[in-house]
Structure 1
Amino acid sequence: MLTTNYFTFCVFCCLLYILLFVPISYPAGVPVWKCDHSLNRSLCLLFAQDMALLIVVLMCVVCVVSGRDQCPRNCYCGELGPHGVICTGGITDIPKNVPADTVYLVVEYTNISVIPTGVFNNLHKLTGLLLDGNQLTSIESGAFDGLTNMSLLSLSSNPGLSLTKVDPSILKDIKNLTSFLAKENKLGIIPTNFFAENKMLREVYLKSAGLTKLQTASFSNLKNLVIVDVSKNEIDNIGANIFTGSLKIQTLNLSNSQIKSIEPRAFETQEEMRFLMLDHNMLVSVRSALLGLRNLLTLALNDNEIVSLNKDDFKELVMLNSLDLSNNELQNTGDALANLQSLGSLTLNNNRLTKLSFKGMPLLTDISVSNNLLQSIPERLDVITHARILDISNNPIQSLPGGQFASLKSLLKLDISNISAIQDGGLAPDALTGLHSLVELRVERNELSKVPSLALSAVKQIEILSLSHNKIQTLDENDFVSVSNISNLQLANNMLAKVPEKALRPFTNLTQLDLSGNPLVHISGWSFGNSTTLSSLRLSNAKLSVIDPAAFHGLKGVHSIDVTNNNLTWLPGDLLKYDRAFPFYLYADQGNPWYCDCQMKPFSQAVNVPGQSVITNIHCSGPEKFKGQNLGDIPLANLTCDCEHQEAPSVDTSGSDNKTTVGHTAKLKCKVSGCPTAHLFWTTPRGFVISPHLTKYTGYDVQDDGTLVIMAAVAEDAGNYTCTAANYLGKAEQSHKLKLDIIET
């Protein structure tokens, strides 16, 4: 590439061209080559000689300037500022003509394998050198000699680079080095005193560097060292004198390094350390390893194999604010946590704890003990009066008596999902008493058959409620009256067969509603009423086959609806027929067998209008000629059906059984006519909505011809059954009453 001065040289060349080939005039205006024998001839020749001399001088000057600043081949000068150079590409050697005033040099992603001695000798102003992503296998002795001003050296992403082939004194001349990076290499073992001459060093990043051992004094006596990252290596053991004399280390990352043991007092001199990451290793204990860390704020010990804790393991961590012990093998914490007077965040997820006490931890705010074996609520809840988050989910807690959380008056989030006590007896009416600040409540996976409305009346102020993954079959109009301020309601993966509009009426601030994973075959008109505040509606992974034209009318504030992974083949044209002031996203493409025929024509016509605000992307599953095509790319005239006469469906239930006996079978007929073919479903007296091949309820079956078979009828099966059929032209339904005779024994 050309530098600015080399460009200047080209401009001068053009000027010289003009001077040489355009006639030069002397003062009288007579061209040089027309000098005659007049008295002015001497003056004319003298002028020509002067001009020639001027041209020669200018050429020399320009050549000197342009030659001095020419950028090396395969390099870019000025990209990192006026004194920055980037070299890349297929080069195999460090360029030799890098400008001497270069301050920042990047040589990356080349075929260079060796850094020879003295290759940077003329770059005395260099402060940053990045040699990342090359093919380095060797760095010769003296390669960095003379770089006394350099503060940053990066050797990252050179997978063939091993320190066994590198002179241990290669950094001795870089007295001002503050940052050293050699991530993603195969360094092996760092030589003792490798950084001995780099007294200004502040940061060392050796993540995934292929380290197999940290030797004694590997990082010792580096009095300005602040950050050390040696994560994702294979270190095995942390010795006692590795960091001796490096008194200012604040962050030490040893995670993911297969560490099995830490020698006692390994960090004893690191009183300034704030963050210590020992997660994702193979530690079975931390006996005496943490002594001396009096100012440590964050300790990560998660994802190890720690079985037990000694009462003195954390005794000197008087400033510790965050402790993560999740994903270990702990059965009991004993008194090990009782000394942590400053602890604010405690994570003990995925252990084998059978009991837990918060004694001695008065400043706890975030507590998570999910996925343990707790038989009862943790002890001494009265101590953690500042608690903001409490997660005790996924524990076999046998009792959840009323008023248990009454002391947690500052609690903002409570997760009591998958609790044995709730599964056995539901959520007691006074279970949430005293939680006057609660904002988020999660009661998931508890096999609830109905909304625990009485218990919710104690937390009227909540804004987020999740009752997902339960067995709730119906919603009553009074279920949410006491919690009308909810903005996010999650009812995913329950057994709701329909959306009773009355149940949503109490909400005044509802913005997010998740009904995904429910057996919702049909969404009727105005199912969500005038929920004008709703902005996001999830109906994915349900059983939807029919959505009425007015299903979403009234949702004038909604900007996204998700109906992915259902059984939808068509959508009505009027589905989104109301004004919007912003783009509306309909997530529908994935997991639906869209059939691009006449039934999709009104919808395609409605949404594929220039300037419209509906954004969707639907690909056809059929017919074969349109398979895989985007609906919007198919001309409307080509969206046709084979029907000679298109018509809305009609339904006939004649021939159905009028009565049966408890324990016996009944068959209810449903004959559907109309074209194109309509979707059919039955609604039972028990509230089930059953569609062929979509929904399964014990004791019921819908045959291919639409016949509903009730097997071994029970008393609740008596009543009105409704057969409904719908295509894009309309919907028809007919009811049939079934009586049951009870045989007395």
Structure 2
Amino acid sequence: MTTIFFLVYLAHLFSSIGACPLGCECDVSLIVTCTKLNLTDVPDDIPTDTKELYLDVNFITILKNDSFSNLHGLTLLAIRFNQIHTIESGAFNNLTKLSHLYLDNNYISQLSEDVFFPLLVINTVSLEYNNISTLWKFSSVSPLATLNLRYNKISFIESCTFVGLTNLKVLQLDRNNVSTIEDRALEGLAHLQNLYLQHNALISLPDSLFSCCTVIQLLDFSHNKIEELPDLTFLWNLTLLDSSHNDILYIDENAFTAQSRLQTLELQNNLLNSVPVLHSVVSLTTLDLERNRISYVPDDAFHNKSNFRDLRLGYNLMKRIPEAVKGLTLQTLRLNGNPIVRVEANAFEGLNNLHRLQLDRMALIHLDENAFLDLKQNQEPLSLFLNDNQLQSLPGEIFSDLNIDIINLEDNLWSCDCAMCEYSHWLSNHNEIEKFDVTCVQPDQYLDIMLSEIHDTDDLICELPVIVESSNYIEAVEGDSVMFPCNATGLPLPFIYWQTPHGHKISLETDMDDIMLLSNGTLILHNAAFSDCGIYSCVAINEAGEDVFNTTLLVVFDTINTTQQQTVPVTSQGTSNA
């Protein structure tokens, strides 16, 4: 009896295979593939017991009412990369078991509201890369879990558009041209977990937009023009928020009070001047604040975050390593691209889990010999990036006992002079010379020579700084900006700072509104006042010594607007101590 049933099954199976449409492939799993056959219509001889049907890459233009009338068992239908522009309202009438429908890369511009009504168990509908500009009301497609509308031409989402999608979990509206979303647009989506709105034209999101979607875990509205974060009060289940590449200037201190479960926060490429308050975000693992305008980080900005792993603060306006990074559980710390000129001792205290440290593309001119002292206790290998800075020398033992896997020291201003003697000695005794070696940029006789190739350290000499460009006397009109030039030679190239008549030391790290030092040694004073008159001293210093030059500033009234010129006399002359 068993043999008879088996023979009957085989007869049925092979009969189905035998009925395979011309050019198509039909396998024993009841999968029919009719791709790249130049079809202009759905074949009418598809086996009736087909489970999955693939009609991709053809020239089908219309899905008719009877296109699938005999395919009652179909669970997956894919008609991608065709030229479909019309779907008749009854095209899917008999597909009561269809769970996955893929109509990507066609020319569909609109659909009737009831087109998906017969799909009783539909799980996924994908319509990306079509010409849809106006959304219809999804009033009766309650089983749908994933709706993909990416890469269309949608510009407006009105209230209650998705009210019938009561089981929807994933909604993809990214890469359209959405500029307006009404406040009740997401009504009915009580089970929505992932919402994608990136790469649109949004300027704002309604504050009440998410009041009906409290289980959202992933929210992405990156690459828009949003100026202010929407109200996140109802999104207490949020684990990932991507609001990068917008125009956000300010974030309210209470913006994240409900986000205790938030793990990943992406705010890079905005206009932020400060780090948002994140005290309630205790589950945070990844924070990206790169490419903003942040100049200061509060010391307690990242406290109470035991799972914090990845902090990205690159390409901001910070001039110092933030104290806030000390003691964190970070594995990755990115500070690259900030105008930081020096790394002080114990700058990375307590970073016992650090695997990757990026200090590249900054303005570094000095590393303290104990800059990485606290990282020498770490068991995991460290990837350290110091490339593309202005470093001229390295302390002799700076990398000693560091467990370094990768180090990049390229594209600095390495000066093979007396300041590198101790490092040269350490390098010659290290078993991985190539990893820690540097290419000399100065002096000229060692250009492009590796430091390890200079065997006699007596050849590593230094030269005293000499200021070669400056001004003895400068006269400026009240309210003008004043430039004090100061250029110096020496080996290694001297570090330049200025002393003002009021006793202030102005260096590259100085953060003042009215006075600043450029990397070429020029001092700029904005909005000159009579109180600024006096002697300004340029100091050029390196390992061999220093040189000083004094410049006298005299501020006068604007003679165009004032009938009587007044000056504040200063009796001093420039001096050089070379």
Q: TM-score, normalised by structure 2?
A: 0.69
2:255 is the counterpart of 1:331: no
Structure 2 unmatched runs, 5+: 1-12, 456-465, 469-488, 494-519, 521-539, 545-575
Deviation at 1:150, TM superposition (A): 0.6
Is the 8 Å Cα contact of residues 147 and 172 (structure 2) preserved in structure 1? Answer: yes
For residue 245 of structure 2, what is the amino acid of its counterpart?
Answer: N
Q: Which residue of 1 aligns with 2:412?
A: 494
Is the 8 Å Cα contact of residues 453 and 479 (structure 1) preserved in structure 2? Answer: yes
Deviation at 1:319, TM superposition (A): 0.9
Deviation at 1:179, TM superposition (A): 0.5
Is the 8 Å Cα contact of residues 439 and 451 (structure 2) preserved in structure 1? Answer: no
Deviation at 1:259, TM superposition (A): 1.1
Distance 1:139 1:349 in 2: 44
Q: Which residue of 2 aligns with 1:75?
A: 23
Deviation at 1:504, TM superposition (A): 4.3
Distance 1:332 1:456 in 2: 34
Secondary structure in 1 matching 2:371? helix
2:237 is the counterpart of 1:319: yes
Is the 8 Å Cα contact of residues 274 and 298 (structure 1) preserved in structure 2? Answer: yes
CA shift in 2, pair 1:514/1:111, >3 Å:
farther
Distance 1:180 1:265 in 2: 27
Q: Which residue of 2 aligns with 1:299?
A: 219
Secondary structure in 2 matching 1:153? strand
Q: How does 1:162-201 map to 2 (within 5 A)?
A: 162-163=85-86, 166-201=87-122
Distance 1:451 1:339 in 2: 41
Deviation at 1:286, TM superposition (A): 1.7
Distance 1:368 1:488 in 2: 23
Correspondence for 2:303 among 368, 371, 382: 382
Distance 2:19 2:433 in 1: 63
Is the 8 Å Cα contact of residues 108 and 130 (structure 2) preserved in structure 1? Answer: yes
Q: Which residue of 2 aligns with 1:454?
A: 370
Correspondence for 2:149 among 230, 233, 236: 230
For residue 162 of structure 1, what is the amino acid of its counterpart?
Answer: H
Correspondence for 1:128 among 30, 52, 65: 52
Correspondence for 2:281 among 361, 367, 382: 361
Secondary structure in 2 matching 1:114? coil
Is the 8 Å Cα contact of residues 179 and 204 (structure 1) preserved in structure 2? Answer: yes
Is the 8 Å Cα contact of residues 206 and 229 (structure 1) preserved in structure 2? Answer: yes
Is the 8 Å Cα contact of residues 160 and 184 (structure 2) preserved in structure 1? Answer: no
For residue 220 of structure 2, what is the amino acid of its counterpart?
Answer: A
Q: Which residue of 2 aligns with 1:161?
A: 84
Secondary structure in 2 matching 1:487? strand
Correspondence for 1:272 among 161, 171, 191: 191
Distance 2:168 2:215 in 1: 11
CA shift in 2, pair 1:70/1:662, >3 Å:
closer
Deviation at 1:513, TM superposition (A): 7.0
Distance 2:168 2:454 in 1: 58
Deviation at 1:440, TM superposition (A): 1.9
Deviation at 1:132, TM superposition (A): 0.8
Deviation at 1:155, TM superposition (A): 1.2
Distance 1:72 1:371 in 2: 58
Deviation at 1:74, TM superposition (A): 5.8
Deviation at 1:239, TM superposition (A): 2.6
Correspondence for 1:143 among 59, 62, 67: 67
CA shift in 2, pair 1:505/1:317, >3 Å:
farther
Is the 8 Å Cα contact of residues 178 and 203 (structure 1) preserved in structure 2? Answer: yes
Secondary structure in 1 matching 2:404? coil
Kindly provide the CA deviation profile for residues 140-181 of structure 1, in whole angstroms up to 9, marking residues without a partner as x: 3311111111111111101x3212xx3121011111111100
Deviation at 1:375, TM superposition (A): 2.7
Q: How does 1:11-50 map to 2 (within 5 A)?
A: none
Q: Which residue of 2 aligns with 1:112?
A: 39
CA shift in 2, pair 1:525/1:380, >3 Å:
closer
Deviation at 1:448, TM superposition (A): 1.4
Deviation at 1:71, TM superposition (A): 7.4
Q: Quick one: higher RCO (CA 8 Å, sep 6+), 1 or 2?
A: 2
Secondary structure in 1 matching 2:333? strand
Distance 2:251 2:16 in 1: 70
For residue 158 of structure 2, what is the amino acid of its counterpart?
Answer: G
For residue 319 of structure 1, what is the amino acid of its counterpart?
Answer: N
For residue 363 of structure 2, what is the amino acid of its counterpart?
Answer: E
Q: Which residue of 1 aligns with 2:358?
A: 442
Is the 8 Å Cα contact of residues 20 and 47 (structure 2) preserved in structure 1? Answer: no
Q: How does 1:721-732 map to 2 (within 5 A)?
A: none
For residue 205 of structure 1, what is the amino acid of its counterpart?
Answer: S
Is the 8 Å Cα contact of residues 322 and 346 (structure 1) preserved in structure 2? Answer: yes
Secondary structure in 2 matching 1:488? strand
Is the 8 Å Cα contact of residues 314 and 337 (structure 1) preserved in structure 2? Answer: yes
CA shift in 2, pair 1:326/1:512, >3 Å:
farther
Kindly provide the CA deviation profile for residues 36-91 of structure 1, in whole angstroms up to 9, marking residues without a partner as x: xxxxxxxxxxxxxxxxxxxxxxxxxxxxx9999767786265xx6336xxxxxxxx
Correspondence for 2:129 among 187, 202, 208: 208
Correspondence for 2:203 among 280, 284, 305: 284
Deviation at 1:327, TM superposition (A): 0.5
Distance 1:518 1:199 in 2: 72
Kindly provide the CA deviation profile for residues 75-119 of structure 1, in whole angstroms up to 9, marking residues without a partner as x: 265xx6336xxxxxxxxxxxxxxxxxxx22221122222337xx1
Secondary structure in 2 matching 1:404? helix
Instruction: Report % sequence identity.
Output: 21
Is the 8 Å Cα contact of residues 489 and 510 (structure 1) preserved in structure 2? Answer: no
Deviation at 1:389, TM superposition (A): 1.4
Secondary structure in 2 matching 1:459? helix
Is the 8 Å Cα contact of residues 344 and 367 (structure 2) preserved in structure 1? Answer: no
Is the 8 Å Cα contact of residues 485 and 510 (structure 1) preserved in structure 2? Answer: no
Secondary structure in 2 matching 1:346? strand
For residue 301 of structure 2, what is the amino acid of its counterpart?
Answer: R
Is the 8 Å Cα contact of residues 493 and 518 (structure 1) preserved in structure 2? Answer: no
Secondary structure in 2 matching 1:299? strand
Kindly provide the CA deviation profile for residues 122-144 of structure 1, in whole angstroms up to 9, marking residues without a partner as x: 62211111111111222333111
Deviation at 1:436, TM superposition (A): 2.8
For residue 167 of structure 2, what is the amino acid of its counterpart?
Answer: K
Is the 8 Å Cα contact of residues 485 and 508 (structure 1) preserved in structure 2? Answer: no
Distance 1:221 1:507 in 2: 72
Is the 8 Å Cα contact of residues 437 and 452 (structure 2) preserved in structure 1? Answer: no
Kindly provide the CA deviation profile for residues 531-562 of structure 1, in whole angstroms up to 9, marking residues without a partner as x: xxxxxxxxxxxxxxxxxxxxxxxxxxxxxxxx
Distance 2:284 2:104 in 1: 37
Secondary structure in 2 matching 1:115? coil
CA shift in 2, pair 1:516/1:133, >3 Å:
farther
Is the 8 Å Cα contact of residues 389 and 412 (structure 2) preserved in structure 1? Answer: yes
Deviation at 1:361, TM superposition (A): 1.2
Correspondence for 1:404 among 314, 321, 324: 324
Secondary structure in 2 matching 1:465? strand
Deviation at 1:496, TM superposition (A): 3.3
Q: Which residue of 1 aligns with 2:229?
A: 309
For residue 292 of structure 1, what is the amino acid of its counterpart?
Answer: C
Distance 2:433 2:162 in 1: 55
CA shift in 2, pair 1:199/1:68, >3 Å:
closer
For residue 343 of structure 2, what is the amino acid of its counterpart?
Answer: L
Kindly provide the CA deviation profile for residues 205-224 of structure 1, in whole angstroms up to 9, marking residues without a partner as x: 1121222221112xx43232
Is the 8 Å Cα contact of residues 480 and 506 (structure 1) preserved in structure 2? Answer: no
Distance 1:404 1:213 in 2: 48
Q: Which residue of 1 aligns with 2:173?
A: 254
For residue 453 of structure 1, what is the amino acid of its counterpart?
Answer: E
Is the 8 Å Cα contact of residues 81 and 104 (structure 2) preserved in structure 1? Answer: yes
For residue 364 of structure 2, what is the amino acid of its counterpart?
Answer: L
CA shift in 2, pair 1:126/1:457, >3 Å:
same
Deviation at 1:478, TM superposition (A): 1.8
Kindly provide the CA deviation profile for residues 458-498 of structure 1, in whole angstroms up to 9, marking residues without a partner as x: 222261111111012334432212x5211111123222377
